Structure 1
Amino acid sequence: MSESVLYVIATPIGNLEDMTPRALRILESVALIAAEDTRHSGRLLSHFNIKTPMIAVHDHNERQQQQKIIEKLQQGLDIALISDAGTPLISDPGFVLVREVRAAGFNVVPVPGCCAMVAALSAAGVPSDRFAFEGFPPAKSQQRLNFFSGLAAETRTLMFYESPHRILDSLAAVVEAFGADRPIVIARELTKTFETFIAGTAAEVLSKVEADPNQRKGEFVLMVEGAPEIDDSDLDSHASEVLDILLAELSVKQASALAAKITGVKKKVLYQAALDRK
């Protein structure tokens, strides 16, 4: 494997004090910095008085730029990859480049630092032993609802990124897909002046964000607690039969609510059992 290195460097998501000494040293020493947006990263580099040349590598030109970068590596030059904020490749460009650089026989070295998803999870108070990061939900309403509905039975904590102009729509879809009582947390503007965590049931968090326009500003990490692990053995044969009959004609929400009234079994247990059947 060649001695040339592509460094994948995490940068601050808000507070510039989160820039690590190692990241600064490498950004100063490499021959070239591949940045998602050279204008945005230019302000960061200027703040730290780093004068290393940059080229743009983003979603629209990543495949074209990869050959230029590989040629630089073949010349024995080290290169750094950064995104606008946080860790490259995590809902940011870089996957294609990293894969091709590795395939070409060069070292790819991570320089860890900020990641909004990890920062949010560490302070949200949701189960963190098992979690799944699902990136940004689809932009179109029906696709978004289908996307969330397909995850409703997942028992791991689910994590999403969302933008300010779609946060209300996503929260409304979470209420519909996961149920109004599912515990969720949103983290907003992490490491910045107005950093905020809002926790509660899906319905409660939606209500709080609807009521306060300030809570719809900035970038969001949305965390949805996983569904409770419920064994079908928790249902007796009568409750299970009633639920199956109702599901043939009704939605998960309607069937579980009606089955709870008929059988006396907790609605939460029946709702999860219905999700598992669907």
Structure 2
Amino acid sequence: MAMEIGEDEWKVCCGSSEFAKQMSTSGPLTSQEAIYTARDIWFNQVNVTDWLEAFSAHPQIGNTPSPSINSDFARRSVSEQSTAFATTSASALQELAEWNVLYKKKFGFIFIICASGRTHAEMLHALKERYENRPIVELEIAAMEQMKITELRMAKLFSDKAKVISETDSSSSPVSTKPQAAGVEVHLEVWSGTTGPSFVHGGGGVWSSVGTSATDRDGRSGPLMDLVDALNPGTYRISFDTAKYSPGCFFPYVSIVFQVTESQKWEHFHVPLLLAPFSFSTYRGS
């Protein structure tokens, strides 16, 4: 479904005024069209000044935002970092703060990294590693990381809007009270065998079922596995029988493969699916 999205909403996704302006004038977009359009605008149409504006809208990794920063944008940044820094020690935060200073002094902008799914240690390691880059190389890497962040926020934006539209449609229609997202079968599997690209083609292993459920009236799946203190690290696949949601859809069945690392086994994983007639998108939610 194509959606009309305002400039302010696009700016929360990216932080660049020019990017937000161009996205808002691109007309109604589906989630997939929005990704292609955003990448084109970000990498081909806006300039370095616009990149730097987006970078400056973020609080530094590990810091709380200052009052002068775009509040909606900054709050989203802090939320995305919350898991990584929930149990970080004061000494570790101090080390990160010191490297933040060194990084900004060398490159002239703050360290940008897509924090979703990353631990504090992983981000600090990346900061130290990228500190060795030449400025032109690091600028391009930071721009790519910013695009990753933007795409995650865009997926969340479309998901939220689709839910609002669905709720509005169902509440205003006297003909049908059954929500469209109800009754979709969802399957969770884990891979046993070779990891890496080869597992898709067999790779000497098999997919083993972990659990099956179906979406409720709100489009949420029931439990797909027993409650555990820690999730076993590995490669997982969550599949949706989307033909039951949208008969005739171009994607009658959608499978999403994701990986849980040793450092992530204590974390919560929320994998939503936003489906349109000719596209779908997903992201790791909180």
TM category, shorter: under 0.3
Q: TM-score, normalised by structure 2?
A: 0.24
Which structure has the larger Rg?
Answer: 1
Q: TM-score, normalised by structure 1?
A: 0.24
